Structure 1
Amino acid sequence: MNCGHSISGEFCAHCGQKADTARITIYSLIKNDILGSIWHVETKFLHTLKNILFRPGTTAMDYISGKRIRYNNFISLLLILFGFNVLTYHFYRKFAPPEELTDDVLDMMNFISKYSKTILFVIIPMLAFNAYFLFKRIKLNVAEHFIIGTVSLLGILILFLLSDIVSLIGLWKPVEKIFNIIDKILFGLSILFPAITYWTAFKNSYSKPGLLWRVSVLYVLMVLEGTVISLILYEIF
Structure 2
Amino acid sequence: MKEKSCLNCGYKISGEFCSHCGQKADTARITPHSLIKSDILGSIWHIEERFFRTLKHVLFGPGRMAMDYISGKRIKYYNLFSLLLILFGFNVLTMHFYLDLNPAEIPKDSAKILQFFSKYSKIILFVIIPMLGVNAFFIFRRIKLNIAEHFIIGTVSLLGILILFLFNDMVSLIGLWQPAAKIFAILDKASVVLLVLFPAVTYWNAFKNSYSKPGLLWRVSVLYVLMGIESLTIITILYRIF
- Secondary structure of 1:126's aligned partner: helix
Partner deviation per Cα, 1:63-86 (whole Å, 9 max, x = no partner): 000000000111111000000000
**What is aligned with 1:130?**
135
1:47 aligns with 2:50: no
Shift of 1:14: 1.6
Of all paired residues, the percent bearing the same amino acid is 71
**What is aligned with 2:194?**
189
Separation of aligned partners in 1, 2:190 and 2:143: 32
Match of 1:59 among 65, 69, 92: 65
Alignment of 1:139-218 (within 5 A): 139-218=144-223
- Secondary structure of 1:3's aligned partner: coil
Give the AA of the match of 2:69: Y
Separation of aligned partners in 2, 1:80 and 1:204: 32
Give the AA of the match of 1:75: F
Separation of aligned partners in 1, 2:232 and 2:89: 24
Separation of aligned partners in 1, 2:216 and 2:65: 19
Unaligned segments of structure 2, at least 5 residues: 1-5
Separation of aligned partners in 2, 1:220 and 1:207: 20
Partner deviation per Cα, 1:153-206 (whole Å, 9 max, x = no partner): 000000000110111000000000000101110110000000000000000000
Give the AA of the match of 1:37: S
TM-score of the superposition, structure 2-length normalised?
0.96
**What is aligned with 1:74?**
80
The ranges of structure 1 where at least 4 consecutive aligned residues each deviate by more than 4 angstroms after the TM superposition are: none
**What is aligned with 1:116?**
121
Give the CA RMSD over aligned residues: 0.8
Shift of 1:15: 1.3
Separation of aligned partners in 1, 2:113 and 2:27: 57
**What is aligned with 2:28?**
22
Separation of aligned partners in 1, 2:35 and 2:164: 37
Separation of aligned partners in 2, 1:228 and 1:97: 30
Shift of 1:97: 5.3
